[in-house]
Every structure is written in structure tokens, then in C-alpha cells.
Chain A
């Protein structure tokens, strides 16, 4: 049973436009959500996170929104740049547990 779901395997966005990556989760015990970015043949790097007590967190071009009632979060990248082309993993952590559960990832292509 997949607790963190990224239903779009890939997404293509024009350079300069907004990229929106979506993520759904099923476990109401998750209290912390993270986004990671991964380039080919490299380890994932932490991008941005949000606590369950917030509904928005912004860091430069990256904003994460959390809708707890819908068990949904999204990552907005604006404006999108060529270097943003990568696989983005949504992840979540359970209360009192260090383990992180990852989604399958969404491959983002930024088009010139």
C-alpha cells in the first residue's frame, strides 16, 4: 500500500512558467512533509519542507502548499528554469519516527 502518491510520472513546463508538482498521502499520522530533487546518477537533495501545522512554506522560487483535509500537498516552482529539470520526490514522516516514506517521483522537464 502506497502511503505517498505522486500520480504524474512526468511533467513538461515551458521555461519561465510555473511548475506545479502534486502529491497525495493516505496516512493521517504524517506530521512533516518534504520535497527532494534528484538528478540522474546522483543522490536526492533536500529542497523544501513543511510541518503539518502550516499550510504554506516559501523559499525563493519554491513554495510548498499543504491541504490537510484533502491529504494533498503541492510544490510550486516559479519561474521555472532549465536547471529545474530533474526528478522530484515527495516524502512524509510519521509522528515520532525518523523514517521517511517517499513517493515514486515526478520527472520534470523544463522546455526552452
Chain B
């Protein structure tokens, strides 16, 4: 079966601190991978997507970056967190007709 892992599940970080969220995918090779953020009242916003190792496309200008060091690993990072980076971060992989989501990471920046 194809599974998406995200960690940590919950994270509380001070403003100005760095961030690293990890997503790993099992059971499939060379998937298209996506990072979304769900912020209050804003639905699901696509942040980054990747079609392969080292290939990252950014959808919105922001304080975050993404990397794909391995085929099944997708990392979301920041050098200095802002209060506005708080939200629920979701990793997703492309399926045949839809996308499948991981369990998410809740980030609270204080």
C-alpha cells in the first residue's frame, strides 16, 4: 500500500527559529509531491510541488522553502519563522486522478 508519513505531528516554535518538516512516501516511486498549508479561514493553499529529485516549484512567495533530496522524501524548511507561518501543513502525493494526503503537522509559532 502507498503511505505518507509526516513528522512531527505537532510543533511549537518561537518566532525567528528555524523549521524543518519532513514527509516520506512509501509504496511508490517517483511520485509528484506537494506541500499545502491550511490556515484559519483560508482553505488549502498549495505552497510547493515537486516532480522529481531536486525539482521544486514554488506557488506563492513566502518565508518557506522546500527540498527533495530523495525520491520519496520532501522537506519543508524555514530559516526564520514568522507568526504568520502558523498553520496545518499537509504533504500530498499525486495519484491517478486525485491527490492523497498525509496526516499533517500542526505548527504554532509563538
Contact = CB atoms under 8 A, between A and B. Distances in A.
B104 A41 contact: yes
Interface string B36-49: 10000111111001
Size bracket, chain B contacts: 20 to 34
Interface residues of A, number: 21
A16 B106 CA distance: 33
A102 B43 contact: yes
A34 B98 contact: yes
A43 B102 contact: yes
Given A43-B102, A44-B90, A98-B32, 15 more contacts: A32-B97, A34-B98, A41-B104, A43-B90, A43-B103, A43-B104, A45-B101, A46-B100, A49-B98, A91-B44, A99-B46, A100-B99, A102-B36, A102-B45, A105-B43
Interface of B: 4, 32, 34, 36, 41-46, 49, 88, 90, 92, 94-95, 97-104, 106
A1 interface: no
10 contacts: A9-B41, A41-B104, A41-B106, A43-B102, A43-B103, A46-B99, A89-B44, A91-B44, A100-B46, A102-B44
A104 B43 CA distance: 4
A98 B94 contact: yes
A101 to B, nearest CB: 8
* Main SS class of interface, B: strand
Interface of A: 6, 9, 32, 34, 41-46, 49, 89, 91, 98-105
